[in-house]
Structure 1
């Protein structure tokens, strides 16, 4: 075998190894993003126009999230917020529109106390929440959409009840108390 042939074989093997390594890395990264973001991964692929664009966006969200100073709430804060939530749910019967608006305000306050920036607009709040709360992000989107319709007088009482259920899911996730049971009616 000539020296040129040996060099060509070595270069060919290196190319195969590099391509294989890249494909394995890319698949691993995709799996990690899919696991971390759950349904938000698929949503990002649809809205970004492709997998690569979506993965770049989700990776950028992770980098931004790493710079945030997110903290757990103290047991006292958790108890206080839980009490506020209970009071809001109790007001739902007499004033559903007001209760939904208060639920939105309380969720935003909990986010702020946990360290999420809340002054950068709803879209950025969604992006920030998507990193640590992907499982309840759909609830937040749905609740916020209903809340906006309610502010225009376009939401039925059933819509408002659904908004409370959605807000409650995110609220419990933010407090770290877990899901409250999606199908239970507001108390």
Structure 2
């Protein structure tokens, strides 16, 4: 084999290795983003070209890494849980104000965890999406109902349930605490359904 042919083979091999490396890097990054963002990855990709969407998600990760996110201590978790119970009780007679209060309580909890809360609702979604992607759509739906004129009591009940999902996720705690809050979240939905029915029937 001539020297020229050998050089051509070597160059082709280098190119193939480089292409394989790039493909593997892209695949690894994509798998990482899917694991991290879950349904938020699919949502973002459905709204933007894939490469643009992935750049956006990587930017969110970088921004999140610069935040001082901290867990709540047990006393703070209990305090917020007690406040949520008060909001829930208020829903019986004042559904719309209770939903407003639920939104403020979620925002206060975000701030205590270390999330900046200034800016638009979309800014909050971006900041939460890295660690709380699984409950992010609940926040979107609750916000949508809250901004709707003439929302029915049933709509407001659903908003409370959606807020509860994110609230529980933000509350954190060990696995036992998480299980307790999930069970309480299901009971919240059931109680709010009964309360809403009673409220409408009055």
**What's the TM-score, normalizing by structure 1?**
0.94
Q: What do you get for the CA RMSD once the two structures are aligned?
A: 1.3
Do the aligned partners of 1:100 and 1:164 also contact (CA within 8 Å) in 2?
yes
Residues 33-112 of structure 1: matches in 2 within 5 Å? Answer: 33-48=33-48, 50-112=49-111
Q: Which residue of 1 aligns with 2:199?
A: none
Question: What are the Cα deviations for residues 32-67 of structure 1, in whole angstroms up to 9, with x where unaligned?
Answer: 10111111111101222x111110000000000001
Shift of 1:31: 1.0
The runs of at least 4 consecutive aligned structure 1 residues that moved more than 4 Å come to 181-184
Question: What are the Cα deviations for residues 56-95 of structure 1, in whole angstroms up to 9, with x where unaligned?
Answer: 0000000000011111111111000000001101111111
Question: What are the Cα deviations for residues 80-135 of structure 1, in whole angstroms up to 9, with x where unaligned?
Answer: 00000011011111110011000000000000111101012211100010001000
Shift of 1:186: 5.6
- CA distance in 2 between counterparts of 1:92 and 1:120 reads 27
- CA distance in 2 between counterparts of 1:140 and 1:117 reads 16
Q: Which residue of 2 aligns with 1:122?
A: 121
SS at match of 1:68: coil
**What's the TM-score, normalizing by structure 2?**
0.87
Q: Which residue of 2 aligns with 1:180?
A: 182
SS at match of 1:132: coil
- CA distance in 2 between counterparts of 1:172 and 1:128 reads 17
Unaligned runs of 5+ in 2: 192-202
- CA distance in 2 between counterparts of 1:10 and 1:183 reads 63
SS at match of 2:147: helix
Q: Which residue of 1 aligns with 2:194?
A: none
- CA distance in 2 between counterparts of 1:53 and 1:5 reads 40
Aligned length: 183
1:3 aligns with 2:3: yes
- CA distance in 2 between counterparts of 1:186 and 1:3 reads 79
Unaligned runs of 5+ in 1: none
2:167 to 158, 166, 171: 171
